[in-house]
Amino acid sequence: MFCPSCGAELPEGGAFCVHCGAALDGSGQSVPVLTQDPSLPEGIFRDDKGAYHWVYHLNMMRNPVPLLMIMKIMAYICGGMAVIVFLMTLLNHNTLAESLKAFAIVAFGIGGGIIVLAYISWLILMALHGSSYTVEHLMTEDRVEHLQTHEEREKSEKIKTAVFILGMLSDDPGTVGLAMAGREEMTSCYTDVRKLVASPRHDLIKVNNVLQHNHVYAYPHQYEFVWSYLASHCPGAKHKR
What's residue 176's pLDDT? 41
What's residue 234's pLDDT? 95
Which of residues 94 and 34 earns the better pLDDT score? Answer: 94
Q: Which stretch of DSSP H or E encloses residue 145?
A: strand 143-148
DSSP 41: P
Whole-model pTM?
Answer: 0.61
- When mean pLDDT is compared across 6-20, 98-112, 132-146, the lowest value belongs to 6-20
| 118-161 per-position pLDDT tens digit | 777 777 766 766 667 788 899 999 999 988 765 655 656 655 55
Q: Please check the confidence at residue 48 and state whether its pLDDT lies above 50.
A: yes
- The proportion of the chain whose per-residue pLDDT surpasses 70, expressed as a percent, equals 65
What's residue 74's pLDDT? 74
Is 6 in contact with 14 (CB distance < 8 Å)? Answer: no
Beta-carbon contacts of 113 under 8 Å, excluding residues fewer than 6 positions away, are none
Which of residues 195 and 167 earns the better pLDDT score? Answer: 195
Mean pLDDT, residues 201-220 taken together: 90
Q: List the domain boundaries for the chain.
A: 1-33, 43-65+128-240
Q: What is the phi-psi region of residue 19: left when phi exceeds 0, alpha when psi lies from -120 to 50, beta otherwise?
A: alpha
Q: Please check the confidence at residue 196 and state whether its pLDDT lies above 90.
A: yes
Mean confidence (pLDDT) of the chain: 77
| 54-91 per-position pLDDT tens digit | 989 877 676 666 667 667 777 777 888 889 988 999 88
> 177 pLDDT band (50/70/90 cuts)?
very low
CA distance 178 to 67: 12
CATH code for the part of the protein at 43-65+128-240: 2.30.29
